[in-house]
Amino acid sequence: ETIAIETRILPADATGIAAAAAVFARGGLVAFPTETVYGLGADASNAAAVTRLYQAKGRPAFNPLIAHVADVAAARRIGRFDAVAERLAQAFWPGPLTLVLPQAEGCPVADLATAGLDTVAIRVPAHPVARALLAAFGGAVVAPSANISGHVSPTMAAHVAADLDGRIDLILDGGAVEVGVESTIIGCFDEPTLLRPGGVPREAIEAVLGRPLARAAAAEAQASEQPLAPGMLASHYAPRAAVRLAATEVAPDEALLAFGPVAIPGAADAAAMLNLSPSGDPAEAATHLFGYLRSLDAKGARSIAVMPIPDDGLGEAINDRLRRAAAPR
């Protein structure tokens, strides 16, 4: 069905944040900046609000949401922390890390938001607007990325409006985000498991734990079916154009998404070109990734050719998103 409501856009100042907290309190939907990407938030304890959130995004109900809270004390009311979870929370919160934990007794998050699992994903974001908003509202806020399900994630308010105008109540404009890829998701199971690479590099987490992370290999394999850690849906982050990875040359009817020095045949004649990081810095590349995919897509080229990007640091998360952008749809 069509959803047609008026979407307000407000600056993320004290007035905007107070308005946003009031929207949450009456069960509405607010897009707000986090340090990773813009999130589309709803009161985590309000099943009707969570239903509206899934509808606004066109998100399949089997794909659970992340509960965002202001601090570790609030997180403990939602999930049960083991020693690994304690260490990771201590080291990386507030910040771009999500922990999947067994639900605490009396967990306030609506069952719909956890897709009926007995675990729950929790994050304490670092962005000052997100923190102020969570403090003003006082409860947990579930927030997927603020895009239509399957599209490229939003890193500025204009991206949110392009996807969700007329479908949500309010967009808080807090400018461009810093990290540019979503949070790293760690499952605190028998073995700590990397469910989604993201804003905290794997190396940093392994250094804190003093051991390698397990990979969610089984989940990858069944990704298109029943995602265990589904940001793991095979096709995701997809622009309209086709995406061609590890390009070593570029055709005249392709756009080029470059990384590092550009010395590949055809670059000068490509339909368009943007360079994620001319100096080859993966953190700079992550900041630009989703915005450049949107910009190149808007040029209307048949396909976007992407130069190879090394897998270290934030490169692992970038390559994960690009593989999903390139997956068969």
Task: Return the residue nearest Mg ion (CB atom).
Answer: 145
Contact partner at residue 229 from ligand TXA, Mg ion, none, CB < 5 to 8 Å by partner kind: ligand TXA
Q: How many Å apart are CA 238 and CA 236, to the nearest integer? A: 5
* Residue 226: count of CB within 10 angstroms of its CB: 12
Nearest to 63 by CA among 216, 223, 237, 239: 223
- In degrees, to the nearest 5, what angle opens at C-alpha 124 toward C-alphas 23 and 189? 125
Stretch that binds ligand TXA, among 19-27, 182-190, 206-214, 242-250 (CB under 6 A): 182-190
Chain positions 144 to 203 lying near Mg ion, rule: CB under 5 A, are 145
Among 169, 182, 297, 320, binds ligand TXA (CB under 6 A): 182
Considering the complex, what minimum distance in angstroms separates the CB of residue 268 from ligand TXA?
36
| Residue 155 lies near ligand TXA (rule: CB under 6 A) | no
Please name the residues in contact with 1: beta carbons below 8 A apart, sequence gap of 6 or more. none
CA-based radius of gyration for the chain: 19
Q: Which partner in Mg ion, ligand TXA, none is near 155 (CB below 5 to 8 A by kind)?
A: none
DSSP 268: G
**Nearest to ligand TXA of 126, 306 (CB atom):** 126
307 binds ligand TXA (CB under 6 A): no
Peptide bond into 94 cis (omega under 30): yes
- The residue whose two tokens read 């095979």 is 234
* Contacting residue, 28, 54, 94, 98, with ligand TXA by CB under 6 A: 98
Rounded to whole angstroms, how far apart are CA atoms 199 and 283?
9
Binding site for Mg ion (CB under 5 A): 145
Binding site for ligand TXA (CB under 6 A): 34, 36-37, 39, 63-66, 96, 98, 100, 114, 117, 119-121, 123, 143-145, 182-183, 185, 195-196, 227, 229-232
